[in-house]
Amino acid sequence: MKTVRLTSAQALFRYLIAQKTIINDKKEPLFPGAFGIYGHGNVACIGQAMEEYQDQLPGYRGHHEQNMALTGIGFTRAMRRKQIFIATSSVGPGATNMVTAAAVALSNRLPILLLPGDTFASRFPDPVLQQIENFTDPTVTANDAFKSVSRYFDRITRPEQILASLPQAIQIMLDPADCGPATIAMSQDVQAEAFDYPEVFFEEVIHEIRRPHPDKNQILTAAEKLKVSKQPIIISGGGVLYSEAEQELSDFAKKHNIPVTSTVMGIGCMDKDDSNYIGNIGGLGDKSANNLSKSTDLALAIGTKLSDFTTGSWANFESNDFKLVSINTARFDVTKHRATPVISDAKIGLQELSKALGDWKAPEIWSDRAIKEREDWQSYIDKQSGPTNQELPSYAHAVGAVYRNSDPSDIVVTAAGGLVGEVVQIWKPKERNTFETEWGFSCMGYEVSGALGIKMAKPEQDVVVFIGDGSYLLANSDIYSSVIYDKKLIIVVCDNGGHMVINRLQLAKGGKEYICNLRAARASNLQFVDFEAHAKSMGANGETVTSTSELEAAYKRAKDSNKTYVISIKTHGYEWLEGSSFWESPTSEVHTTTANKEAYKDFLVGKNKQRKGV
């Protein structure tokens, strides 16, 4: 067998370059790029290998390890898991900075390859700079923190170990059921060590994501459940998008006359004009969808992990006859809450289930009600998000102003805070696949970083970021990244003076304003940030507006800009769209205020409606 002598770092990148994928019938790199922040632990060897192979696998400079990994996650979500980014860091704090990003990827079932530097396998220099010592287990390093938030974890302590480890990592990341982050922690001395690698290890491999087909008996059982249903709904999750089953979903819903709701991660599977689309369901959901969920006798969940914000903490389904049917590639997700399981790819599962249903349709009286619910709720949304002359516009007013002036192809991005709830109800996609909000982990700081990755994946479309002042202050360095890499973003900063959606929760639970609201933060020299000046200092264009009419005009200027454009607007901190679903959040049993007592009563009402399950 022919061999080639390489360091483990060189061999790693040569192997990754050999991995290919098929996108639109064209062969593309499975790994299109790598973000890196170098330090001791990755600069000398991984960094050298990245430079040597940059023509085949381009590298990008990060400004914070968490943020660069979030950018990679945004990219792979926009590419529907067909391409995977790499992020490498130094040893110690550089590595642990990526742990939060790994959790984002794990929660959202998204792949990313993390290459944190590690300590010396030889242990001769121990303890090295930035090493965390475990007094009872010398094999433990800071990188063990990745184990709980990785689908695959390995520590490379000999150069030949990558021969077995890398193929396993890739298969995990491409598995539709087990997809998630892979962490390969490379001992820094081993990165430099050479091995005679078999040349066949570097032969080109073309990967295609497999589509699990359903068991016939599971399909027949699911079909029988649906056929006796009188008021069914569909809950469409992110798995529909990853499966690229948007058309199959629309065809299925029309053929069988079933109203379609979506999770936050599933928004974009249908456009706003699809006759069967009713809206987003759950804790951030449209009242139209939540009213249907309270009456439905069967929910067909497709490609969703059924989180508490989707199910209203399992209090959204009030019918005593309620049944749950679930189509999912993951056994773990498909069996939740006594669901009738169909373990399958979403596209194939919908096709097979439709065949089994034949000509069956849900009653017209149910679909008529769904349309009426949608129309009524849309009238409310149009009113609440329309033009206003009030001194401080609400989040809804700001989102509505941008939405009215957006192109159908504009992609919207949010992730955390009160903006998510307003955006998901107002920004009804004018085209499919134009909604890329991260809600699996609701990670503050994802907004700008994730949007950068989405722009890298879809450079011909404008990417619009809605971000609050809290998230902006947490992570904004990728504004600079977007400028230097010529990846224009449009960023709307809604400045309401603090973490005001949590302030809202604080008040709703009977508490008093404390710390969340900047004015209640015990600050002795309270000041507010000039976001326009800050953005300009990083090379972006920017302006500050004071009304929705000014915001609309600014958005048009942002569309015409040749680089990232930041628009700052002060917004109301106490004005929100109407809620329509229970969400379980702990409420004190010891009542120190009247408001606390009333909040606890409301809490018990929701608890009593929860679906009892496992």
The pLDDT value recorded for residue 15 is 98
Average pLDDT, the chain: 96
Q: Is residue 563 part of a domain?
A: yes
Contact between 244 and 347 under an 8 Å Cβ cutoff? The reply is: yes
Does residue 452 sit in the same domain as residue 554? yes
The pLDDT value recorded for residue 613 is 66
What pLDDT band is residue 394 in, cutting at 50, 70 and 90? very high
Count Cα atoms within 13 angstroms, Cβ side, for 527: 4
> Distances in Å between the alpha carbon of 553 and those of 274, 368, 413?
30, 39, 20
Does residue 481 sit in the same domain as residue 366? no
Q: Is residue 289 part of a domain?
A: yes
The residue among 184, 207, 230 that closes a domain is 207
The pLDDT value recorded for residue 593 is 87
DSSP-derived 3-state class of residue 506 = helix
Q: Is residue 396 part of a domain?
A: yes
The string of pLDDT tens digits covering residues 530-559 is 999 999 999 999 999 999 999 999 999 999
Does residue 196 sit in the same domain as residue 278? no
Minimal CA–CA distance to 436: which of 422, 425, 447?
447
Residue at token pair 């059921």: 177
Does residue 326 sit in the same domain as residue 197? no
Does residue 364 sit in the same domain as residue 263? yes
Q: Is residue 494 part of a domain?
A: yes
Q: Is residue 259 part of a domain?
A: yes
Minimal CA–CA distance to 472: which of 444, 450, 501, 453?
444
What pLDDT band is residue 22 in, cutting at 50, 70 and 90? very high
pLDDT > 80? residue 204: yes
The pLDDT > 70 percentage for the chain reads 100
pLDDT > 80? residue 614: no
Total domain count, the chain:
3
Does residue 346 sit in the same domain as residue 415? no
Does residue 26 sit in the same domain as residue 91? yes
Q: How far apart are CA 290 and CA 279, in angstroms?
A: 9
pTM score: 0.96
The tokens for 25 are 């019938």
Looking at the chain, the number of H-run helices and the number of E-run strands are 24, 22
The pLDDT value recorded for residue 561 is 98
Q: How far apart are CA 62 and CA 94, in angstroms?
A: 11
The pLDDT value recorded for residue 611 is 85
Q: What is the CATH number of the domain that holds 22?
A: 3.40.50.970
The tokens for 15 are 């192997």
The pLDDT value recorded for residue 612 is 78
- Please give the single-letter amino acid code of residue 564: T
pLDDT > 70? residue 474: yes
The residue among 376, 411, 440 that closes a domain is 376
Q: Is residue 612 part of a domain?
A: no
Q: How far apart are CA 394 and CA 573, in angstroms?
A: 7
The string of pLDDT tens digits covering residues 563-611 is 999 999 999 999 999 988 999 999 999 998 899 999 999 999 999 999 8
* φ and ψ of 219, to 5 deg: -65, -45
Q: Is residue 161 part of a domain?
A: yes
For 409, which DSSP code?
A: T
The residue among 376, 398, 423 that closes a domain is 376
Q: What is the CATH number of the domain that holds 290?
A: 3.40.50.1220
Does residue 353 sit in the same domain as residue 421? no
The pLDDT value recorded for residue 373 is 97
Does residue 230 sit in the same domain as residue 348? yes
Task: State which H helix or E strand residue 7 sits in.
Answer: strand 3-7
Does residue 307 sit in the same domain as residue 419? no
The pLDDT value recorded for residue 71 is 98
Q: Is residue 594 part of a domain?
A: no
Does residue 348 sit in the same domain as residue 408? no
Q: Quote the domain boundaries for residue 436.
A: 385-570
Count Cα atoms within 13 angstroms, Cβ side, for 543: 13
Does residue 62 sit in the same domain as residue 167? yes
pLDDT > 90? residue 347: yes
The string of pLDDT tens digits covering residues 221-263 is 999 999 999 999 999 999 999 999 999 999 999 999 999 999 9
The pLDDT value recorded for residue 106 is 98
The pLDDT value recorded for residue 332 is 94
Task: State which H helix or E strand residue 260 sits in.
Answer: strand 260-262
Strand order in the sheet with 411-413: 411-413, 463-468, 490-495, 565-570, 541-545
